[in-house]
């Protein structure tokens, strides 16, 4: 299983080679992998920003505890969750199902109402937690795709979301920067790549009933 070998190869890259860039063909594959991510109800209630401009990455680095991965990596993926519930997202999704699968809208109305009721029934805290979790599902696909393409990545929570929101104008769009991932190629000087991967033993991690 080639995927297992790829997952053994990957690690959270601490030092990127700033001279190497992810080409457009591979970038397209990464985007498609994120697009194909699972999400609750299939709604994909998130937005993914891909930052490549050096000047913008410099501003974001200052809001990321000055971690060099932000500017040294080829691209910075910023996963953003929606901050407010909006029935229009559900309506757009139901319409897309109808168009792509050929199901009449009237036959999908009950399902659409079910989703709206489920989301509206959450309190603000539950909505916030649920909304943020969706971005982590998408991030997982990005990391796996990067490993398959031998592109390095580093999932990061070490940044200031409020400052990201301000710099990227996310507040005005009803979005919140939730988790980020610089992607690119490891530096030969990154000694982290030579460390043995530490994971729980199978016998401790899994239980079979």
pTM of the model: 0.96
**Are residues 111 and 164 both part of a single domain?**
no
Residues making up the chain, counted from first to last: 209
**Are residues 72 and 131 both part of a single domain?**
yes
- Residue whose tokens read 């996963």: 79
**Are residues 141 and 112 both part of a single domain?**
no
Domain hosting 106: range is 86-120
**Are residues 60 and 128 both part of a single domain?**
yes
**Are residues 155 and 185 both part of a single domain?**
yes
Strands (E), the chain: 46-51, 75-82, 152-153, 175-184
Structural domain count of the chain:
2
Q: Of the residues 120, 135, 163, which one is the last residue of a structural domain?
A: 120
User: What CA–CA distance (Å, rounded) separates 145 from 142?
Assistant: 5
**Are residues 90 and 163 both part of a single domain?**
no
pLDDT, tens digit (0-9, with 9 covering 90-100), for 39-76: 999 999 999 999 999 999 999 999 999 999 999 999 99
**Are residues 19 and 93 both part of a single domain?**
no
**Are residues 103 and 7 both part of a single domain?**
no
**Are residues 97 and 166 both part of a single domain?**
no
pLDDT, tens digit (0-9, with 9 covering 90-100), for 141-163: 999 999 999 999 999 999 999 99
């Amino acid at each position: 299983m080639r995927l297992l070998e790829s997952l053994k190869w990957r690690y959270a890259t601490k030092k990127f080679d700033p001279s190497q860039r992810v080409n457009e063909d591979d970038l397209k594959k990464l985007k498609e992998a994120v697009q194909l991510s699972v999400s609750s109800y299939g709604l994909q209630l998130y937005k993914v920003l891909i930052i490549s401009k050096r000047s913008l990455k410099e501003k974001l680095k200052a809001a990321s505890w000055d971690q060099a991965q932000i500017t040294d990596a080829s691209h910075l993926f910023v996963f953003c969750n929606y901050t407010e519930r909006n029935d229009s997202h559900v309506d757009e999704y139901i319409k897309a199902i109808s168009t792509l699968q050929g199901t009449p809208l009237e036959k999908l109305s009950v399902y659409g109402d079910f989703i709206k009721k489920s989301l509206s029934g959450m309190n603000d805290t539950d909505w916030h937690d649920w909304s943020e979790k969706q971005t982590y599902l998408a991030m997982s696909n990005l990391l796996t795709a990067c490993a398959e393409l031998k592109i390095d990545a580093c999932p990061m929570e070490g940044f200031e979301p409020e400052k990201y929101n301000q710099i990227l104008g996310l507040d005005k769009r009803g979005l919140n920067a939730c988790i980020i991932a610089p992607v690119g190629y490891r530096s030969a000087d990154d000694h982290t790549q030579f460390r043995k991967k530490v994971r729980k033993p199978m016998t401790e991690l899994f239980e079979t009933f």
